[in-house]
Amino acid sequence: MYFDQPTSEFLKRIGQCLGDYSELVGENQINEKSAPDYQNVYFCYEKENVVIMDNHRCALWFWIKNTDKKLKYNIIHIDTHYDLGGLKFNSKISRDQLDGFTLNDYLHYKDKADDKMVYFNWANYLLPFIDYYNQNIENLYLIVNQNADIPGETTLKSIKCHVEDPKGYNALSSLENLFDEKANWIINFDIDFFFKDDIQLYSDAFIEKVLAQLKRFKAVKNSILTIALSPSCCGGWENSFKVLEKMKSMGVI
C-alpha cells in the first residue's frame, strides 16, 4: 500500500491549517515510488505535546524524544489497524541508537547498508516502543476498527494490554471510562478510525464527541497526542483534512 502523495497545493493548505506548528520533515520528506513497503513521509508538524503526520511513521521518534523516562504512561491506540508489526529478526538496532537518533536518522535508518527498505514504517513503530521502553509503559489500550488477531503476542505479554473495542463500536464510552487526569497518557490517533475507504463510518456528531475526548486527554499534564491523517485509508486527502480542520476548530490541536 502507498499513501497518496499530496500535491504542493494541498501541502500548502495543511501548512496554513497548522500555521502555529513547526514542520520537522521539510525538505527531508521521503517519496520512494518504487518502495515495496510503507516508508513514504511527506510532513510532520509539532507543537508542544502534539505531533501531526501524514502517517504514523514518525510517532515512535516523537515518543522517544518527548516522554519523561522517569514516568509510566498509558497508551491509547485509536486506529483502523493495530500497527503492531514487529521489527526484523536479529535486528542490530539498540536502545542507545534510538535514544540518539535525529528525526532524519530515524526516517532513513536501514539495518544493513544494502537494505532496499528503510527500517521503521507505519506498521511496526509501536512494538519497538513497548520493547525498548517497557519500564515506561503501564497499560496499552487498543481501540480499533479491525476484528482480527492481534500480532506481537509475545511482546505484549510483558505489559498490560487491553483490547477495549475490537470493532470500534464503543470508542466514545471507552475513552470516557479510561480518562484519569492523574495518569500519564500517550494518545495515538489515526483519522482512518472514522473511515472505511471513502465511507465515513460514524456520524459527524459522534466524531465530534470522540474528538472532544481527545482534547480532554491532551490537556492532562505529561500527555502526548500523536495524529496521523492516513489519506489512503480514508478515501483521500479531503476526508482526512476535513477531520483535521474539525480538530483545529475544536481546539484539539
Separation between Cα atoms, residue 4 and residue 22, nearest integer Å:
23
* CA–CA distance, 127 with 83 (Å, rounded to integer): 8
Q: What distance in Å separates the CA atoms of residue 5 and residue 232, rounded to the nearest whole number?
A: 9
**Max Cα distance, the chain (Å):** 50
Q: Give dist(CA 137, CA 186) in Å, integer.
A: 10
Tell me the three state secondary structure of residue 11. helix
At 143, the amino acid letter reads I
pLDDT for position 238 = 95
Per DSSP, what are the bridge partners of residue 163?
A: 142
Q: Give pLDDT < 70 ranges for the chain.
A: 1-3, 27-38, 87-90, 147-159, 164-169
Any idea where the domains of the chain sit in the sequence? 8-249
pLDDT digits (tens, 9 = 90+) for 142-191: 898 876 666 555 556 666 777 766 566 688 999 999 999 999 999 999 99
Residue 69 grid coordinates: 523516562
Q: What is the DSSP letter of 30?
A: B
pLDDT at 33: 57
Residue 52 near residue 45, CB atoms below 8 Å: yes
CA distance 173 to 232: 28
What is the model's pLDDT at position 163? Answer: 74
pLDDT score at 157: 63
Q: How far apart are CA 30 and CA 49, in angstroms?
A: 24
Exposed/middle/buried for 22, CB within 10 Å: 0-12, 13-18, 19+?
A: exposed
Residue count of the chain, please give it: 253
- Position 131 scores a pLDDT of 85
Q: What is the pLDDT of residue 36?
A: 47
For the domain spanning 8-249, the CATH number is: 3.40.800
**Which positions ≥6 away from 103 have C-beta within 8 Å?**
24, 25, 28, 44, 58, 61
